With several copies, the nearest count.
Chain A
Amino acid sequence: MNLQEYEALRLFASAGAKVPKHILVKDVEGAAEAYKAIGGTVALKAQVAVAGRGKAGGIVKVSSEAEVRAQAEKLLKSEIKGLKVESLLVEEWINAEKELYLGFTIDRSAKKAVALACGVGGIDLEDLVKSKDFTLVREHIDPLKGLMRYQAYHLAKGIGLKGGAIIRFVDLSIKLYQLFKSLDCELLESNPLALCKDDLLIALDARIIVDDNALPRHSELAQSSLDLNPLEREARKEGFSYVDLEGDIGVIGNGAGLVMATLDTVTYYGGRPACFLDVGGGASSETVEKAVRLALRNQRVKVLLVNVLGGITRCDEVALGLVNALQANRTIPIVVRLVGVNEEAGRRLLREAGIGYYESMEEAAEAAVKALRGD
């Protein structure tokens, strides 16, 4: 779960990190009030949890109330990378002598958390990782002892800090690592982290992604889901894995790998998937029915492709769910591939409802693409 920026800033502050003054606002009037409270120069930051927000015009520097009003109005009407801007953060503008990067994430190959630092900030971690222009310094963290001060010290020296800045960087690293660990984060970063005069370090930006699997033990966190669109939010509530895509063939299946392979097969035959929807293992007819209804609410879906290989999942349950969902509401073509446990009973149900089915995933995907073209 991507935390909202203001919540991440609050958590940073409670962990002992310095952050700029900031106020969350939902409208132009609020932005103007917030500006009056903070004064001087401020940043207006669109609250959308996507990387590259700055580059996409989501952060604006302003120095007067009039400017605040004008820019806030513009931002609150905009969409950034497909996500509507519903609120803004009005944040004190900090003059940094240097911008740095400090973050913590999971290194899958090392099977450990890793601390990352860079002497350049404000650039996507993705670009930092790939670029040859900057040195990204890494320290793997032994799960049995946590981040050690000497490791943080090594990061600080590695990104060229000196004297008092090293000590402050070490202290901040230890605090933020503790936050990263205690919140079960997948990612925690400050980018940029401002090095100001007197060696002060101020987190101009705070980004936290909490491991979804750990949310049950973090009831203290507001469940935010700014990185999801409305349909994705609803699907999550229903317990489905659902991802909105940009094509027109809706894909439903059982098992994440199988659904991904189905998307790929559709693409292989020249089609474009409209969504990824995994009903999981052992779905009941009710679950399948819900899934179909959900997919059909995606306006882009022009053909529905259902791919089920029944193992734990029973084909008759799937068929029943499909039939029930489509009974009243069969406005678009549906292509089904149904094999596995109880396949005969399932197929009989489909035949009775006038729904065709295929033996192989490839045939079904190809048929879905053809159905779209009206072949």
Chain B
Amino acid sequence: MAILIDAKTRVLVQGATGREGSTHTASMLNYGTKILAGVTPNRGGSTVSGVPIYDLVSEAVESHPEINTSIVFVPASAAPEAVYEAIDAGIKLIIIVTERIPIHDTINLVAHAERKGAKIIGPNCPGVITPEVAKVGIMPAHLFKKGRVGIVSRSGTLTYEVAWALTRSGFGQSTAVGIGGDPVVGLGFVDVVQMFEADPETDAIVVIGEIGGDAEERLAAYIRRQGLAKPIVAYIAGRSAPKGKRMGHAGAIISLGSGSAEEKRAALIDAGVNVAELPSQIPILLKKAIQRRA
């Protein structure tokens, strides 16, 4: 059943009529994702790639009560309200692709989602793919292949790079989750690793971290505390990044004396995680780790 996204996933696209929204609606449908409806205020009654558009999430959900997942392409200024709307309509998994949402808005919406028991992925994330089942995101799906390795990542293109390397090495993926590159995001490494650990269709886990914050250190602390039954390999981008400079992602910055790749690597290694020095080493380390456990 993989994690987060599976054959039962029924998708709502918020901001479906915009450039990004419509392009990716077509691409997701093409991959076989079951998209039941889209929402754009004042566009109710139209369609995008045959998907009916509604003015309000409540209307979409009323007409399509099977909807259980939303993907948000709404521009940053309106995205937080779109997420509240989805939460209030009872949708429990919301994937926010939108980038450039102000951090205080994200803090508020993540707090609200927690209050209402909804899971948030992102913002500023490529989404989630369960290869050959469904993609709720913007990733180039041809690089992914069905299999038993779970990927969780703070980066978009680097996820594709790693997924492709795994695919070519014969490691298909159960699910790949992009948690987003912002300083504050909904689900974190620990949340997703716990899901992979519990998922019978996942045999091994790949974590792609980067500089900034302490998400990797928290994962390391979690693993030290709880242990992990499945083999895990990590890669941390940004070893050569200078202090105090934002490396593209809003969250990728070494600041307040923490967040360097070295610290993260050290913490993970200390927790028994295999850490690759280059993305291309991931499949090799994974193979070794699996053999070791077997």
A residues whose Cβ falls under 8 Å from a Cβ of B: 50-51, 105-106, 108-109, 111-113, 124-127, 129-130, 142-145, 148-150, 153-154, 157, 163, 166-167, 181, 184, 186, 211-214, 216-217, 241, 243, 245-246, 253-261, 263-268, 273, 276, 278, 281, 309-312, 339-341, 360-362
Interface size, chain B (Cβ < 8 Å): 74
Q: Complex Cα distance A213/B183, Å?
A: 12
Residues of chain A contacted by B164 (CB below 8 angstroms): 309, 339
Residues of chain B contacted by A362 (CB below 8 angstroms): 278, 280
Known: A150-B56, A150-B85, A211-B103. A257 touches B154 (CB 8 A): yes
Residues of chain B contacted by A265 (CB below 8 angstroms): 278-279
Which residue of B103, B140, B242 contacts A213 across the interface (Cβ within 8 Å)?
Answer: B103
Top-6 shortest CB links A-B: A257-B155, A256-B248, A255-B157, A311-B140, A257-B158, A126-B257
B residues whose Cβ falls under 8 Å from a Cβ of A: 41-42, 55-58, 76-78, 81, 84-85, 88, 100-105, 107-108, 110-112, 115, 138-140, 143, 153-161, 164, 181, 183-184, 208, 210-211, 213-215, 218, 235, 237-242, 244-252, 255-258, 261, 277-280
The answer to whether A278 touches B104 (Cβ under 8 A) is: no
The answer to whether B76 touches A254 (Cβ under 8 A) is: no
Give 4 A-B pairs besides A129-B256, A213-B102, A276-B241 with Cβ atoms closer than 8 angstroms. A129-B257, A153-B41, A265-B279, A278-B248
Residues of chain B contacted by A360 (CB below 8 angstroms): 280
Q: Complex Cα distance A241/B248, Å?
A: 5
30 pairs, CB–CB < 8 Å, chain A vs chain B: A109-B213, A111-B110, A112-B107, A112-B111, A142-B111, A143-B104, A145-B112, A153-B55, A212-B250, A213-B100, A213-B101, A214-B104, A216-B76, A216-B77, A243-B241, A243-B246, A255-B156, A255-B158, A256-B181, A257-B237, A259-B247, A260-B155, A260-B240, A261-B278, A264-B237, A267-B239, A273-B240, A276-B247, A309-B164, A311-B157
Known: A112-B107, A264-B238, A281-B156. A257 touches B210 (CB 8 A): yes
Known: A213-B76, A214-B102, A362-B278. A260 touches B252 (CB 8 A): yes
Residues of chain A contacted by B211 (CB below 8 angstroms): 260
The answer to whether B101 touches A243 (Cβ under 8 A) is: no
The answer to whether A154 touches B58 (Cβ under 8 A) is: yes
Distance between A201 CB and nearest chain B CB, rounded to angstroms: 16
The answer to whether B279 touches A243 (Cβ under 8 A) is: no
Residues of chain B contacted by A166 (CB below 8 angstroms): 42
Q: Complex Cα distance A241/B56, Å?
A: 35
Residues of chain A contacted by B100 (CB below 8 angstroms): 213
